[in-house]
Structure 1
């Protein structure tokens, strides 16, 4: 394959099972539910009223969370353009841990899944679809967190060695990836661009698991053995030609001169102007050859970096404070969607039902009607409805109570 990532010739996608994320917009999901016509006119009005209650409750809750999260991140934000309050928080471990815990809670509510250290190490060992070798030094960070959402198994047929060979690559692709990093203090080894103690948060899209290395800010491009061979073999062959054609006579002359100086033979050697020109021309040709090979190596690495930069340009969605606001919005949407779905099917059943049976009905509806296989969080959804007074549980059976007054909605 060329230094730039070639377009796959064949691709297939299979969504992974067991994912909590509902892959539909909030407004579209409401249209999908209402189109089922599973409620009579009175129930439909009650459902609409309950939808308004759910949206108001989560809007108020996440408005408060938004300010708390911004305050928690303020002194750690590398993009901050405001002055620090002298009595404010520090850049220490306690502040970072508080931010991390808040972010983890928020990402969980937005249906993101954590990538464990084992998964990350496996991804680092995998062969990159980008067809370059990437290296990162994890010592630059003392706190790393990776969360993903919308994973699917994919198969791509990619060309290798200028299309002469084709390889089928199996990998997991993440629709969204959130990266949380805290820069470490490495003393004299600290990069000037990394302020120790600062926290960087990035949001990416469409990331293969084998290419997670490219998301880190200290990624370095390294030459693969195949690339070194592509440069090294022709360079060695041409080097032999240069040595025999351009350096043969100068080396013989220098060898003879050296032998006379060392007393290996008594016949004097005259080094005239013509000989000096011949030696200078030979070593000049060697220098030009070595410079050409070094330029070829450097230019190939530069093409790798350009391809990496271009790929990241389309994958990066947001930075730092902007990521927090996006995730807050995602979490609010996820909480609302789960409550909408649970309430609708609880009302449509029009009877008391166990949480397990209701979970089966909902997951079957998503699979059969919308080809979306997911692991619906029925326990969490029912608890939300219960706190809002929209559902009750008695002896393990649940039923909807959407007409219960809820002017003073319970705190979530």
Structure 2
């Protein structure tokens, strides 16, 4: 088992995730810019209407996700009325929509090379595992937030423990699409149910899984249908005692097995001579056979017991880190995307409206990142492009060739009220 490389740099760019409550950001902005009661009241009104607009927009997005996922939900039967081409188009739409929501929630896709590296490096899950990749049509992983932890792991065959610093992802979302079944064939992917029996997952289904606090090197353990396999060390631990204990039994049987056949032939009428001590030797041979059988059963039991111990270790480390599955994660992710959008748009608007003049994109990014660092002690990369896109969509942004600004706060509130009015259904 390969140990993780603790000296490796943190992969990818800085996180864009803003881990703050909405109320904390709003109060922090009022304090940072020393707004009086009147301006603070206007900013709170602006933030409230902005939140209502985003909530309505993301409610429609949630409905679209649920509608499209109907065809791929493993808990719902096959959509037989759709053609293969229509299902492929629906799958692409589901994938694009889901990835877009994750991006808006400031998740970052984990590179394929990093997932493959996790197949050989393990942190908390100290067993060798294998995932049947041929059963999957597509596998994508996304992570958000990360920190470093120091854990204690066994060393010297469990005689002592040592500390290991690992990188942990705060949130991980897994998207797994199974291959469509061939007509008339049985589903290829089966998952163990709570009762231990195999429950079939139909071909073409898409599984979504949401995990929290997953070590970077344990990503493989998140795959469905993952199984524990014996490593070389475990095989030697079971095989060497089997060889040492089994060879003497086999040597003893080799000298008495012929006598056993002679006695058996005498009682079956196949031979007519039997020496005085042949019966005793035959009984000894039978005892040896029983001993060999008992030894084989004991080693077989040891093998399965060790497998169950490893499977329990895998389950204990992953089961309690699973937050939600399949369509159940849509509400949470939509809510997270909505909040991140709100935070980014509000920060960008305040950063621009409080500036003495127009700002370039880079200047606005630096201004907001400095604000977050000074006020909240957060060192992150502000998603300025997404924030400006939202302000542009709401028609709050004024753009020139190389700089941007926003309309004044009273005008912005009036504009948001017009946008909100258009979102409401007209009375019949």
Fold conserved between structures, TM > 0.5: yes
1:228 aligns with 2:223: no
1:408 aligns with 2:418: yes
1:94 aligns with 2:101: no
Output aligned runs, 1:141-180, within 5 Å.
141-164=136-159, 166=161, 169-180=164-175
Please state how far the C-alpha of 1:110 moved relative to its aligned partner.
0.8
Q: TM-score, normalised by structure 2?
A: 0.81
- Check conservation: 1:43, 1:347, Cα contact below 8 A: no
Give the one of 188, 191, 195 matched to 1:190: 188
1:68 aligns with 2:54: no
Give the one of 287, 292, 308 matched to 2:293: 287
- Check conservation: 1:39, 1:347, Cα contact below 8 A: no
CA distance in 1, matches of 2:397, 2:44: 15
CA distance in 1, matches of 2:91, 2:188: 19
CA distance in 1, matches of 2:22, 2:359: 25
Give the one of 349, 361, 364 matched to 1:358: 364
CA distance in 2, matches of 1:26, 1:88: 45
C-alpha spacing 1:394/1:165, structure 2 compared with 1 (3 Å):
same
Please state how far the C-alpha of 1:275 moved relative to its aligned partner.
1.6
Counterpart for residue 24 of structure 1: 20
More relative contact order, 1 or 2 (CA 8 Å, 6+ apart)? 1
Query: What SS does structure 1 have at the residue aligned with 2:306?
Result: helix
Counterpart for residue 109 of structure 2: 114
For structure 2, the residue ranges without an aligned partner over 5 or more in a row are 2-9, 191-199, 263-272, 424-428
C-alpha spacing 1:17/1:152, structure 2 compared with 1 (3 Å):
farther
1:51 aligns with 2:51: no
- Check conservation: 2:256, 2:284, Cα contact below 8 A: no
CA distance in 1, matches of 2:96, 2:86: 16
CA distance in 1, matches of 2:300, 2:82: 54
Please state how far the C-alpha of 1:312 moved relative to its aligned partner.
2.3
Counterpart for residue 331 of structure 1: 337
CA distance in 1, matches of 2:260, 2:385: 91
CA distance in 1, matches of 2:109, 2:90: 21
CA distance in 2, matches of 1:15, 1:349: 34
Counterpart for residue 208 of structure 2: 201
C-alpha spacing 1:157/1:371, structure 2 compared with 1 (3 Å):
farther
- Check conservation: 2:152, 2:163, Cα contact below 8 A: yes
- Check conservation: 1:15, 1:153, Cα contact below 8 A: no
CA distance in 1, matches of 2:386, 2:256: 87
The C-alpha deviation readout for 1:109-166, integer Å capped at 9, x for no partner, is 1111112222211222323431101101111011222111113344544222454355
Query: What SS does structure 1 have at the residue aligned with 2:153?
Result: strand
Output aligned runs, 1:303-318, within 5 Å.
303-318=309-324
- Check conservation: 1:346, 1:399, Cα contact below 8 A: yes
Counterpart for residue 11 of structure 1: none
CA distance in 2, matches of 1:319, 1:291: 40
- Aligned pair count reads 390
Please state how far the C-alpha of 1:87 moved relative to its aligned partner.
7.2
1:34 aligns with 2:30: yes
The C-alpha deviation readout for 1:249-290, integer Å capped at 9, x for no partner, is 54323368899xxxxxxx996663222211111121121112
Q: TM-score, normalised by structure 1?
A: 0.84
Moved over 6 A (4+): 87-91, 256-259
Query: What SS does structure 2 have at the residue aligned with 1:19?
Result: coil
For structure 1, the residue ranges without an aligned partner over 5 or more in a row are 2-13, 260-266
Please state how far the C-alpha of 1:71 moved relative to its aligned partner.
0.9
The C-alpha deviation readout for 1:201-249, integer Å capped at 9, x for no partner, is 1111111122112211120110122222222333333335xx1xx5655
Deviation larger for 86-95 or 294-303: 86-95
The C-alpha deviation readout for 1:1-27, integer Å capped at 9, x for no partner, is 9xxxxxxxxxxxx99851111112323
Query: What SS does structure 2 have at the residue aligned with 1:372?
Result: coil
- Check conservation: 1:353, 1:397, Cα contact below 8 A: yes
C-alpha spacing 1:238/1:349, structure 2 compared with 1 (3 Å):
same
- Check conservation: 1:354, 1:396, Cα contact below 8 A: yes
- Check conservation: 2:369, 2:382, Cα contact below 8 A: yes
Please state how far the C-alpha of 1:90 moved relative to its aligned partner.
8.1
Over the aligned positions, Cα root-mean-square deviation in angstroms equals 3.3
Query: What SS does structure 1 have at the residue aligned with 2:329?
Result: helix
C-alpha spacing 1:352/1:133, structure 2 compared with 1 (3 Å):
same
